[in-house]
């Protein structure tokens, strides 16, 4: 049996936001000795591969520690046990500070210091906070010591033997070819989150209820769709990624040399990462030079301002191999509309924009029944889908999108940015109307934008009802012709959807400002305002405390003296889908009817985000000095041809509100909140 010694790297995990606190160590007690072993081929603390394929010999190393936990009432007690046995499949662990706890439920974890949050209930069993670090040390033939998270349950009494089970999956690979000897780092990108702060739940009988990439906490790492190995790599030797179990439809391996130049390898095959098993993908041949550009990535804009580029990624969905040039043409056209609209037009030099090709087996997108159930399936790269007439369920396989972009965006590959900082848009090769953005509390986004009516004209109107006044909650009335004429009628095409979903929701992190019908919510709190990356600051739930008070309303006289169009700033009731008890900065904007106009406060929020992401400082005076207030609908001239086009255009309802994903913790088990 070959012994492998692995250096210790410590990483803390906490679950204090969702579980009770761990009590201090027990007072001095008697010596306790337990034997710890492993279920056959099911847990690997130190790997010793002996040609057994997906299995490996199991051994403890001298200095290993386990944490024995006693759950009783509202408290959790613990003690660390250590072993001096080395290279043994069964080892004795002892503790000189042991005192039994009456009426307790016992469990043990390895490594002892990687679990700081615990929970037990008679119904659910044991819940453990667990960390799989997204950056790991490469170890020839094995894994970094302490990565192989393992659990054992002992019921209501501690026996002299504990049987541990492994909670993670391993991906094994080798490298070969002329460039293999120059590899210094390897990254695995998956179409699912495969590392970070997650949960493991073990039943009272010791079986895993789940260990999954769907349960994350924003603690040490949050969640990551990549795992990175750093160190020295020898051609032909085995190396392993430790990951959260999952199934990934496609994956990528990126190899780096000492100068961070890359060689990319992409696969569209399904990758199954199974708990306590090794998935072997064989030898990856690296023949060629590092630094070659990815042919699937078209660089459309390059930044010339800011210390860090502000990156946008526009991705193809539902375009076959022969339609990739069509995608690039459409993507350029949509990006041109975005950067032809203020404030993106003025601040375009801060951006890198990448158009990323992706081949689908079929054109179009799947059709749902409006409740998420697919009734007509299209074989597309990212599974975009929505109803023929109901599009509130519009989405894609978002983790797959984030993994695809992460493995191709140059700034992410260089480590300059994460996927949380790169706004993503899917242009969908489907003629149905729709548009919806998925946004997360950490900053990730995917804007779904179909090629509606094959580029034909579309119009959107102001809402049918409006608040009786902008202060009280006394009700609403049907919008009058005079009120409609004041704001004008928006017209355009699918690129206006792109502007709203991508420029407004995805990058700008703006809430919708339209509303539907006379119903309203009396609550004043907008929970997304308190996200780790705030969302929806363009809408207020309190009339007397709007976010734009200090910068705009308090300076309104000076602003109007500079430009009379600033007189449009105020507090206007309606927004966030509610006609009452929500206030916006101006009567009309892109976030109501998709026109090429963002309100003054929306423009300021977008510019603040540009400055933050680019490593620059925001200055209110600089923003005002370069601000452009022109609204092409209200301030431009409308030709007779444009009137005729509007009359024949497809009249569409407002776009669906964003899908919100909040991975923050709450009482009990943290869960993603989908709205």
Q: pLDDT tens-digit profile of 133-167?
A: 999 999 998 888 888 888 888 888 776 678 888 88
Task: Centre a 10 Å sphere on the Cβ of residue 243 and count the other Cβ atoms it contains.
Answer: 28
**Is there a cis peptide before residue 111, judged by omega within 30 degrees of 0?**
yes
> How confident is the model over 334-352, as a mean pLDDT?
98
**For the chain, how long is the longest CA-to-CA vector?**
93
Contact 434, 656 (CB under 8 A): yes
**Residues 219 and 13: beta-carbon distance below 8 Å:** yes
Burial category of 628 from C-beta neighbours within 10 Å (exposed 0-12, middle 13-18, buried 19 and up): middle
Q: What structural domains and CATH numbers belong to the chain?
A: 30-292 (no CATH), 298-662 (3.40.390.10)
Query: What whole-number distance in Å separates Cα of residue 74 and Cα of residue 120?
Result: 10
pLDDT in tens, 219-233: 677 788 999 999 999
* 437: Cα within 13 Å, side-chain hemisphere: 30
Distance CA 223, CA 193 (A): 6
Average per-residue pLDDT for the chain: 85
Phi-psi region of 141 (alpha: psi -120 to 50; beta: other; left: phi over 0): left
What was the pLDDT predicted at 18? 28
Q: For position 642, what pLDDT does the model report?
A: 63
| Cα-Cα-Cα-Cα dihedral sign, residues 120, 122, 126, 127 | negative
Are 507 and 569 spatial neighbours (Cβ–Cβ below 8 Å)?
A: no
Rounded to whole angstroms, the Cα distance separating 435 from 502 reads 10
- pTM beyond 0.95: no
User: Residue length, the chain?
Assistant: 675
Cα separation, 172 vs 503, whole angstroms: 41
Do the Cβ atoms of 351 and 303 come closer than 8 Å? yes
Strands (E), 39-184: 47-48, 57-58, 65-72, 75-82, 91-98, 105-110, 118-121, 125-132, 135-137, 150-155, 161-166, 169-176
Burial of 153 (0-12, 13-18, 19+ CB in 10 A): buried
CA angle 502, 504, 505 (to 5 degrees): 70
Q: Are 536 and 602 in contact (CB under 8 A)?
A: no
Render pLDDT for 406-434 as a digit per residue (tens, 0 to 9): 999 999 998 899 999 999 999 999 999 99
Averaged pLDDT for residues 94-109: 82
Torsion of Cα atoms, 559 then 565 then 571 then 576, to 10° = -120
Residue 116 structure tokens: 């700081």
Torsion of CA 192, 380, 429, 301, to 10 degrees: 40
The string of DSSP letters for 544-571 reads T--TTTTTTGGGHHHHHHH-GGGGG-S-
Least confident of 18-22, 182-186, 369-373, 541-545: 18-22
Selected residue with higher pLDDT from 96 and 175: 175
At 35 the pLDDT is 58
Say what the pLDDT of residue 36 is: 59
Average pLDDT in the 570-579 region?
96
**String of b and e for 263-277 (b: at least 16 CB within 10 Å)?**
bbbeeeeebebebbb
Task: Please state, in angstroms and as integers, the Cα–Cα distance from residue 325 to each residue in 330, 450, 451, following that order.
Answer: 9, 17, 15
More confident residue, 212 or 289: 289
**Three-class SS state of 431:** coil
How does pLDDT run across 493-530, given as a tens digit for each residue?
Answer: 999 999 999 999 999 999 999 998 776 777 899 999 99
* More confident of the two residues 281 and 45: 281
Report which listed range, 69-78, 217-226, 280-289, is most confident: 280-289
Residue 215 has pLDDT above 70, yes or no: no
Helix, strand, coil proportions of the chain in percent (round to 5)?
A: 20, 35, 50
Residue 577's pLDDT band (cuts 50, 70, 90): very high
Q: Evaluate whether 278 touches 297 at the Cβ level (below 8 Å).
A: no
The pLDDT value given to residue 49: 41
The set of residues, in sequence order, having a beta carbon less than 8 Å from that of 255 and lying 6+ positions away, is 175, 179, 183, 185, 186, 262, 263, 264, 265, 284, 286, 290
Chain-centre distance of CA 620, in angstroms? 30
Residue 9, classed as helix, strand or coil, is coil
**Helix, strand or coil for residue 209?**
strand
Model confidence over 616-657: pLDDT tens digits? 999 999 999 999 999 999 999 766 666 666 677 889 999 899
Residue 214 pLDDT grade (very low, low, confident, very high; cuts 50, 70, 90): low
* Residue 112 CB contacts under 8 Å (≥ 6 apart), including other chains: 65, 66, 67, 80, 81
- Lowest-pLDDT choice from 192-196, 254-258, 352-356, 553-557: 192-196
Phi, psi of 364 (to 5 degrees): 95, -150
Taking CA atoms, 466 is separated from 76, 460, 477, 574, in Å, by: 56, 16, 6, 7
């Amino acid at each position: 049996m070959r012994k492998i010694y692995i250096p210790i790297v410590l990483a803390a995990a906490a679950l204090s936001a969702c579980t009770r606190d761990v009590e201090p160590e027990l007072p001095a007690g008697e010596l306790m000795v337990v034997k710890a072993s492993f279920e056959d081929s099911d847990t690997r603390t130190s790997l010793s591969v002996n040609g057994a394929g997906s299995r490996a010999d199991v051994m403890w190393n001298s200095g290993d520690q386990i944490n024995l936990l006693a759950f009783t009432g509202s408290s959790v007690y613990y003690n660390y046990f250590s072993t001096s046995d080395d290279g043994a499949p069964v080892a004795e662990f002892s503790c000189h500070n042991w005192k039994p706890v009456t009426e307790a439920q016992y469990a043990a974890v390895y490594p002892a210091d990687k679990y700081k949050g615990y929970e037990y209930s008679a119904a659910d069993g044991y819940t453990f906070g667990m960390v799989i670090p997204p950056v790991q040390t490469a170890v020839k033939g094995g894994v970094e010591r302490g990565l192989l998270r393992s659990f054992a349950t002992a019921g209501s009494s501690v026996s002299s033997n504990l049987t541990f089970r492994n909670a993670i999956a391993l991906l094994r690979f080798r490298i070969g070819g002329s460039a293999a000897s120059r590899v210094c780092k390897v990254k695995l990108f998956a179409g699912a989150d495969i590392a970070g702060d997650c949960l493991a739940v073990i039943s009272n009988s010791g079986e895993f209820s789940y260990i999954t990439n769907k349960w994350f906490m924003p603690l040490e790492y949050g969640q990551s769709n990549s795992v990175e190995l750093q160190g020295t790599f020898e051609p032909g030797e085995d190396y392993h990624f430790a990951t959260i179990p999952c199934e990934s439809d496609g994956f990528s391996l990126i190899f780096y040399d000492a100068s961070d130049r890359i060689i990319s390898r992409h696969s569209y095959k399904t990758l199954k990462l199974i708990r306590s098993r090794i998935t072997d993908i064989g030898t990856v041949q690296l023949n060629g030079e590092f630094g070659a550009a990815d042919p699937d990535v078209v660089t459309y804009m390059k930044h010339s301002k800011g210390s860090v580029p502000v990156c946008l990624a526009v991705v193809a969905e539902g375009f076959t191999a022969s339609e990739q040039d069509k995608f690039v043409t459409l993507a350029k056209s949509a990006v041109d509309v975005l950067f032809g609209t203020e404030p993106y037009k003025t601040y375009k030099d801060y951006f890198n924009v990448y158009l990323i090709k992706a081949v689908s087996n079929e054109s179009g997108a799947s059709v749902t029944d409006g409740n998420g159930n697919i009734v007509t399936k299209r074989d597309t790269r990212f599974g975009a889908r929505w109803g023929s007439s109901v599009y509130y369920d519009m989405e894609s396989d978002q983790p797959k999108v984030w993994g695809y972009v992460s493995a191709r965006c140059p700034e992410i590959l260089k480590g300059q940015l994460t996927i949380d900082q790169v706004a993503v848009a899917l242009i969908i090769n489907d003629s149905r109307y729709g548009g919806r953005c998925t946004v997360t509390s950490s900053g990730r986004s995917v804007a779904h934008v179909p090629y509606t009516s094959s580029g034909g004209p579309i119009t959107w109107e102001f809402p049918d009802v409006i608040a009786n006044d902008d202060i009280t909650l006394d009700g609403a009335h049907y919008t009058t012709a005079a009120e409609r004429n004041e704001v004008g009628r928006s017209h355009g095409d699918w690129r206006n959807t792109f502007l709203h979903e991508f420029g407004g929701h995805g990058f700008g992190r703006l809430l919708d400002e339209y509303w539907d019908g006379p119903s309203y919510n009396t609550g004043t709190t907008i929970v997304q305002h308190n996200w780790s990356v705030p969302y929806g600051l363009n809408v207020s739930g309190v009339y007397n405390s709007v976010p734009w008070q200090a910068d705009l309303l308090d300076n309104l006289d000076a602003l109007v003296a500079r430009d009379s169009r600033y007189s449009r700033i105020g507090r206007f009731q309606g927004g966030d889908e509610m006609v009452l008890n929500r206030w916006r900065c101006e009567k009309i904007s892109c976030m109501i009817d998709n026109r090429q106009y963002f309100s003054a406060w929306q423009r300021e929020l977008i510019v603040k985000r540009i400055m933050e992401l680019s490593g620059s400082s925001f200055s209110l005076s600089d923003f005002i000095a370069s601000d452009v207030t022109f609204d092409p609908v209200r301030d431009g001239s409308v030709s007779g041809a444009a009137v005729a086009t509007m009359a024949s255009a497809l009249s569409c309802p407002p776009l669906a509100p964003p899908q919100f994903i909040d991975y923050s913790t709450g009482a009990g088990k943290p869960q993603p909140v989908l709205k």
